[in-house]
Amino acid sequence: MMTEHEGLKSSAEDYLEAILVEESRHGQVRSIDVAQHLNVTKPSVSVAIHTLEKKGYLYFDDDKFVHLTEEGRSVAEKIYERHRFFKSVLLAIGVEDTTAEDEACQMEHAISDNTFSLMKRYCENNACAV
């Protein structure tokens, strides 16, 4: 993995991104929401979320809702920005929506922060269709 978020695996980044997206959609997030978003089992979510909690990326409130810490939100926002960028580029060149969604998810983890910044700047300066 090439992303530079304190050695997080791409799957951990996906969990943080899913929490961010679900929070923006519904305001509150439970583990089951993350499981449904990622199409994984609740036990898988439980293990991943508790690992991320130990690392300081998220916490649970008294009602068992999941919340991102400042650090967790920062990582999630970076990953989600990459996802939106790559999906929009793929859609702009004619890739089908489902394929663009799947491939953007892979691409968001595959390049360094520096390369992403350069690609983003290139598109901003060259009026890429994103």
Per-residue pLDDT tens over the stretch 55-73: 999 999 999 999 999 999 9
Spatial CA neighbour of 74 closest among 53, 58, 60: 58
CATH number at residue 30: 1.10.10.10
In whole angstroms, how far apart are CA 72 and each of 67, 83, 107? 9, 16, 20
Mean pLDDT computed over 11-29:
94
Q: Please check whether residue 64 is in contact with residue 30, taking contact to mean a CB–CB distance below 8 angstroms.
A: yes
Last residue of a domain, one of 58, 74, 90: 74
- Supply the range of the domain harboring residue 86: 79-125
Token duo for residue 21: 């997206």
pLDDT band at 128 (very low <50, low <70, confident <90, very high): confident
99 and 69 inside one domain: no
Please list the residues that pair with 60 across neighbouring strands: 66
CA dist 113 and 110 (Å) reads 10
For residue 6, the model assigns a pLDDT of 57
Q: Do residue 118 and residue 65 come from a single domain? A: no
* Residues 67 and 88 both lie in one domain: no
Identify which of 126, 129, 44 has the alpha carbon closest to the alpha carbon of residue 92: 129
**Residues 90 and 51 occupy one common structural domain:** no
Q: How many domains does the chain have?
A: 2
Q: Tokens 């598109």 appear where?
A: 123
